[in-house]
Amino acid sequence: MSTRPPPPRLSVIPAMRSPRVLVLRRGPTRLFHVVLWNPVSGETQFGSWFHGRLFAERCDISPDGEWMVYSAEGAHRAYKPTGNRLWTGLARPPWLQTVAAWPSDEYTGSGGGFFLSSGELVIQTVSAPSIDESMRRAFPFAIRYQDPWSAATSPSPRDRFERSGWRSFRSAQCQGNADWPDDARRSQPSSRHPVLLATFKSRSRRGRGCYEFALDPKSPVVNSLVDDAAWDNAGALLIARGGRVERYTLDDLEREAPSAVLDLNNLEPPA
Protein backbone atom coordinates (compact mmCIF):
# COMPACT_ATOMS: atom_id res chain seq x y z
CA MET A 1 0.00 0.00 0.00
CA SER A 2 1.54 3.27 -1.11
CA THR A 3 1.55 6.23 1.24
CA ARG A 4 0.31 9.61 0.08
CA PRO A 5 3.16 12.15 -0.11
CA PRO A 6 2.89 15.18 2.16
CA PRO A 7 1.64 18.39 0.52
CA PRO A 8 4.27 20.83 -0.75
CA ARG A 9 5.31 23.66 1.53
CA LEU A 10 4.45 27.10 0.16
CA SER A 11 5.75 30.62 0.75
CA VAL A 12 3.78 33.66 -0.44
CA ILE A 13 5.27 37.08 -1.22
CA PRO A 14 2.67 39.60 -2.45
CA ALA A 15 3.62 42.62 -4.54
CA MET A 16 2.82 45.84 -2.71
CA ARG A 17 1.31 47.76 -5.64
CA SER A 18 0.01 44.92 -7.78
CA PRO A 19 -2.33 41.96 -7.23
CA ARG A 20 0.49 39.62 -8.27
CA VAL A 21 1.71 37.10 -5.70
CA LEU A 22 5.04 35.26 -5.90
CA VAL A 23 4.60 31.68 -4.69
CA LEU A 24 7.57 29.44 -3.91
CA ARG A 25 6.58 25.77 -3.87
CA ARG A 26 8.87 23.31 -2.11
CA GLY A 27 8.41 19.57 -2.40
CA PRO A 28 10.01 17.13 -2.37
CA THR A 29 12.64 18.64 -0.09
CA ARG A 30 15.14 19.97 -2.64
CA LEU A 31 12.79 20.62 -5.54
CA PHE A 32 11.30 24.11 -5.90
CA HIS A 33 8.77 25.52 -8.33
CA VAL A 34 8.19 29.26 -8.89
CA VAL A 35 4.64 30.43 -9.61
CA LEU A 36 3.23 33.92 -10.24
CA TRP A 37 -0.45 34.21 -9.35
CA ASN A 38 -2.95 37.01 -9.90
CA PRO A 39 -5.96 36.06 -7.78
CA VAL A 40 -7.97 39.03 -9.07
CA SER A 41 -7.74 38.13 -12.78
CA GLY A 42 -7.25 34.41 -12.17
CA GLU A 43 -4.07 34.34 -14.26
CA THR A 44 -1.46 31.82 -13.12
CA GLN A 45 2.03 31.60 -14.61
CA PHE A 46 3.99 28.42 -13.88
CA GLY A 47 7.70 29.13 -14.11
CA SER A 48 11.03 27.57 -13.20
CA TRP A 49 11.61 24.23 -11.52
CA PHE A 50 14.79 24.27 -9.47
CA HIS A 51 16.83 21.49 -7.87
CA GLY A 52 18.51 22.94 -4.81
CA ARG A 53 17.19 25.44 -2.32
CA LEU A 54 15.50 28.84 -2.43
CA PHE A 55 15.60 30.83 0.82
CA ALA A 56 12.15 32.42 1.01
CA GLU A 57 13.02 34.99 3.70
CA ARG A 58 15.74 36.37 1.42
CA CYS A 59 13.52 36.55 -1.67
CA ASP A 60 11.29 39.43 -2.71
CA ILE A 61 9.11 40.72 -5.54
CA SER A 62 9.12 44.33 -6.78
CA PRO A 63 6.10 46.48 -5.88
CA ASP A 64 4.82 46.28 -9.48
CA GLY A 65 5.32 42.51 -9.64
CA GLU A 66 7.69 42.71 -12.62
CA TRP A 67 10.97 41.70 -10.93
CA MET A 68 12.14 39.26 -8.30
CA VAL A 69 15.31 38.92 -6.27
CA TYR A 70 16.15 35.54 -4.82
CA SER A 71 18.76 33.66 -2.80
CA ALA A 72 19.60 30.17 -4.06
CA GLU A 73 21.83 27.20 -3.35
CA GLY A 74 22.59 24.77 -6.17
CA ALA A 75 22.03 21.09 -5.47
CA HIS A 76 25.12 19.68 -7.17
CA ARG A 77 27.45 22.27 -8.65
CA ALA A 78 28.36 25.93 -8.72
CA TYR A 79 26.31 28.46 -10.67
CA LYS A 80 28.48 29.35 -13.67
CA PRO A 81 28.02 33.17 -13.70
CA THR A 82 29.21 33.45 -10.09
CA GLY A 83 31.34 30.32 -9.61
CA ASN A 84 29.58 29.68 -6.30
CA ARG A 85 26.98 27.19 -5.05
CA LEU A 86 25.16 30.04 -3.31
CA TRP A 87 24.15 33.14 -5.24
CA THR A 88 21.72 36.03 -5.41
CA GLY A 89 19.78 36.42 -8.64
CA LEU A 90 17.70 39.18 -10.19
CA ALA A 91 15.10 37.82 -12.58
CA ARG A 92 11.68 38.23 -14.19
CA PRO A 93 9.17 36.11 -12.27
CA PRO A 94 8.20 33.34 -12.47
CA TRP A 95 11.53 32.46 -14.09
CA LEU A 96 14.87 32.16 -12.29
CA GLN A 97 17.00 32.91 -15.35
CA THR A 98 19.10 35.80 -14.10
CA VAL A 99 19.55 39.18 -15.71
CA ALA A 100 22.10 39.90 -12.97
CA ALA A 101 23.73 37.65 -10.36
CA TRP A 102 26.02 38.02 -7.37
CA PRO A 103 27.93 35.37 -5.35
CA SER A 104 26.81 34.72 -1.79
CA ASP A 105 29.09 33.85 1.09
CA GLU A 106 28.95 30.11 1.81
CA TYR A 107 30.13 30.52 5.41
CA THR A 108 28.00 33.40 6.66
CA GLY A 109 24.95 32.52 4.56
CA SER A 110 24.55 36.09 3.33
CA GLY A 111 22.65 36.70 0.14
CA GLY A 112 19.29 37.65 -1.30
CA GLY A 113 17.77 41.08 -1.03
CA PHE A 114 14.58 43.12 -0.89
CA PHE A 115 12.92 46.04 -2.63
CA LEU A 116 12.93 48.93 -0.19
CA SER A 117 10.67 50.81 -2.61
CA SER A 118 9.78 50.92 -6.30
CA GLY A 119 13.02 52.76 -6.94
CA GLU A 120 15.52 50.87 -4.80
CA LEU A 121 16.72 47.26 -4.56
CA VAL A 122 18.98 46.25 -1.66
CA ILE A 123 21.35 43.31 -2.24
CA GLN A 124 22.77 41.66 0.88
CA THR A 125 26.42 40.71 0.48
CA VAL A 126 29.56 40.80 2.60
CA SER A 127 31.72 41.78 -0.40
CA ALA A 128 30.07 44.43 -2.51
CA PRO A 129 31.21 44.57 -6.15
CA SER A 130 31.23 47.84 -8.00
CA ILE A 131 28.14 48.84 -9.96
CA ASP A 132 28.98 49.92 -13.48
CA GLU A 133 26.96 52.45 -15.42
CA SER A 134 25.48 49.85 -17.78
CA MET A 135 23.91 48.07 -14.79
CA ARG A 136 22.59 51.35 -13.41
CA ARG A 137 20.84 52.02 -16.72
CA ALA A 138 19.54 48.47 -17.21
CA PHE A 139 16.95 48.51 -14.42
CA PRO A 140 14.16 50.91 -13.40
CA PHE A 141 15.52 51.03 -9.84
CA ALA A 142 18.77 51.78 -8.07
CA ILE A 143 20.80 48.88 -6.66
CA ARG A 144 22.47 49.24 -3.30
CA TYR A 145 24.74 46.74 -1.53
CA GLN A 146 24.82 46.20 2.21
CA ASP A 147 26.59 43.93 4.67
CA PRO A 148 23.78 42.08 6.50
CA TRP A 149 26.01 41.35 9.48
CA SER A 150 27.14 44.91 10.13
CA ALA A 151 25.82 46.46 13.32
CA ALA A 152 25.41 49.71 11.40
CA THR A 153 23.38 48.12 8.60
CA SER A 154 20.57 50.35 7.43
CA PRO A 155 18.19 49.43 6.00
CA SER A 156 18.17 46.02 7.66
CA PRO A 157 16.57 42.79 6.42
CA ARG A 158 13.76 43.50 8.89
CA ASP A 159 12.82 46.51 6.77
CA ARG A 160 11.40 44.21 4.10
CA PHE A 161 8.81 43.02 6.60
CA GLU A 162 8.17 46.51 7.94
CA ARG A 163 7.66 47.73 4.37
CA SER A 164 5.05 44.97 4.03
CA GLY A 165 3.21 46.15 7.14
CA TRP A 166 4.74 43.85 9.78
CA ARG A 167 5.80 45.20 13.18
CA SER A 168 7.99 43.23 15.58
CA PHE A 169 7.27 42.70 19.27
CA ARG A 170 7.95 40.24 22.08
CA SER A 171 5.41 37.52 22.73
CA ALA A 172 4.20 36.81 26.27
CA GLN A 173 6.61 33.89 26.64
CA CYS A 174 9.60 36.22 26.24
CA GLN A 175 8.43 39.15 28.32
CA GLY A 176 10.93 40.02 31.05
CA ASN A 177 13.92 38.52 29.23
CA ALA A 178 16.04 41.48 28.16
CA ASP A 179 18.47 39.24 26.26
CA TRP A 180 15.79 37.70 24.03
CA PRO A 181 15.11 39.45 20.71
CA ASP A 182 11.65 40.27 19.43
CA ASP A 183 10.18 36.91 18.49
CA ALA A 184 6.82 37.85 16.98
CA ARG A 185 5.30 40.05 14.28
CA ARG A 186 1.93 41.67 13.85
CA SER A 187 0.27 43.15 10.79
CA GLN A 188 -3.01 45.03 10.39
CA PRO A 189 -3.76 46.91 7.14
CA SER A 190 -6.54 49.01 8.73
CA SER A 191 -8.69 49.26 11.83
CA ARG A 192 -11.34 47.20 10.02
CA HIS A 193 -8.96 44.27 9.66
CA PRO A 194 -8.12 41.67 12.30
CA VAL A 195 -4.49 41.53 13.42
CA LEU A 196 -2.37 38.87 11.74
CA LEU A 197 0.14 37.44 14.22
CA ALA A 198 3.29 35.45 13.45
CA THR A 199 5.13 33.95 16.43
CA PHE A 200 8.60 32.46 16.07
CA LYS A 201 8.76 28.68 16.63
CA SER A 202 12.16 27.50 15.43
CA ARG A 203 15.02 28.19 13.07
CA SER A 204 16.30 25.85 10.37
CA ARG A 205 19.93 24.89 9.83
CA ARG A 206 20.23 27.63 7.20
CA GLY A 207 18.64 30.28 9.40
CA ARG A 208 15.09 30.21 8.03
CA GLY A 209 12.59 31.28 10.65
CA CYS A 210 9.51 29.10 11.14
CA TYR A 211 6.42 30.89 12.46
CA GLU A 212 3.02 29.98 13.83
CA PHE A 213 0.22 32.20 12.50
CA ALA A 214 -3.02 33.35 14.11
CA LEU A 215 -5.65 36.07 13.81
CA ASP A 216 -6.76 38.40 16.59
CA PRO A 217 -9.71 38.18 17.14
CA LYS A 218 -9.29 34.43 16.71
CA SER A 219 -10.65 32.80 13.58
CA PRO A 220 -10.72 29.15 12.46
CA VAL A 221 -9.55 30.38 9.05
CA VAL A 222 -5.97 30.55 10.40
CA ASN A 223 -4.86 27.37 12.17
CA SER A 224 -1.72 25.39 12.99
CA LEU A 225 -1.54 23.97 9.45
CA VAL A 226 -0.68 27.36 7.90
CA ASP A 227 2.77 27.49 6.25
CA ASP A 228 2.72 31.20 5.48
CA ALA A 229 0.33 34.16 5.56
CA ALA A 230 0.34 37.80 4.44
CA TRP A 231 -1.96 40.65 3.44
CA ASP A 232 -1.98 41.49 -0.27
CA ASN A 233 -2.05 44.94 -1.86
CA ALA A 234 -5.86 45.14 -1.58
CA GLY A 235 -5.96 44.13 2.08
CA ALA A 236 -7.05 40.54 1.43
CA LEU A 237 -5.51 37.74 3.48
CA LEU A 238 -3.33 35.17 1.69
CA ILE A 239 -2.95 31.83 3.44
CA ALA A 240 -0.69 28.97 2.30
CA ARG A 241 -1.43 25.50 3.64
CA GLY A 242 -1.90 21.98 2.41
CA GLY A 243 -0.33 22.81 -0.93
CA ARG A 244 -2.88 25.55 -1.66
CA VAL A 245 -2.94 29.35 -1.50
CA GLU A 246 -6.27 30.79 -0.35
CA ARG A 247 -7.36 34.42 -0.61
CA TYR A 248 -9.82 35.93 1.86
CA THR A 249 -11.40 39.35 1.63
CA LEU A 250 -12.97 40.75 4.80
CA ASP A 251 -16.33 39.35 3.67
CA ASP A 252 -14.67 35.97 3.03
CA LEU A 253 -13.26 35.96 6.57
CA GLU A 254 -16.79 36.47 7.91
CA ARG A 255 -18.03 33.55 5.79
CA GLU A 256 -14.90 31.49 6.59
CA ALA A 257 -14.58 30.60 2.90
CA PRO A 258 -11.98 31.85 0.37
CA SER A 259 -13.07 33.55 -2.85
CA ALA A 260 -9.92 32.48 -4.74
CA VAL A 261 -7.79 29.34 -4.43
CA LEU A 262 -4.58 28.25 -6.13
CA ASP A 263 -4.02 24.49 -5.80
CA LEU A 264 -0.37 23.48 -6.32
CA ASN A 265 -0.70 19.83 -5.34
CA ASN A 266 0.02 17.02 -7.78
CA LEU A 267 2.45 19.01 -9.93
CA GLU A 268 5.42 17.37 -11.63
CA PRO A 269 8.41 18.99 -13.37
CA PRO A 270 8.58 18.53 -17.13
CA ALA A 271 10.41 15.40 -18.25
Quote the pLDDT of residue 144: 86
203 vs 45, which has greater pLDDT? 45
Q: Using pLDDT thresholds of 50, 70 and 90, give the confidence band for residue 224.
A: very high
- Per-residue pLDDT averaged across 128-156, rounded? 69
- Per-residue pLDDT averaged across 175-180, rounded? 50
- Give me the count of residues in the chain: 271
Q: Residue type at 202?
A: S
- H-only helix segments in the chain: 133-138, 158-163, 250-255
Percent above pLDDT 70 for the chain: 78
Q: Using pLDDT thresholds of 50, 70 and 90, give the confidence band for residue 29.
A: confident
Q: What is the spatial distance between Cα 190 and Cα 237, in angstroms, rounded to a whole number?
A: 12
233 vs 137, which has greater pLDDT? 233
What's the chain's average pLDDT? 85
CA dihedral angle for residue 198, residue 20, residue 204, residue 30, rounded to 10 degrees: 150
Quote the pLDDT of residue 185: 87
Q: Using pLDDT thresholds of 50, 70 and 90, give the confidence band for residue 103.
A: confident
225 vs 181, which has greater pLDDT? 225
Q: Classify each residue of 152-184 as buried b or exposed e, where b means 16 or more C-beta atoms within 10 Å of its C-beta.
A: eeeebbeebbebbbbeeeeeeebeeeeeeeebb
- Identify each DSSP E strand in 105-236 by its residue range: 113-117, 120-124, 142-146, 166-169, 184-187, 195-203, 209-216, 228-231
- Per-residue pLDDT averaged across 3-7, rounded? 84
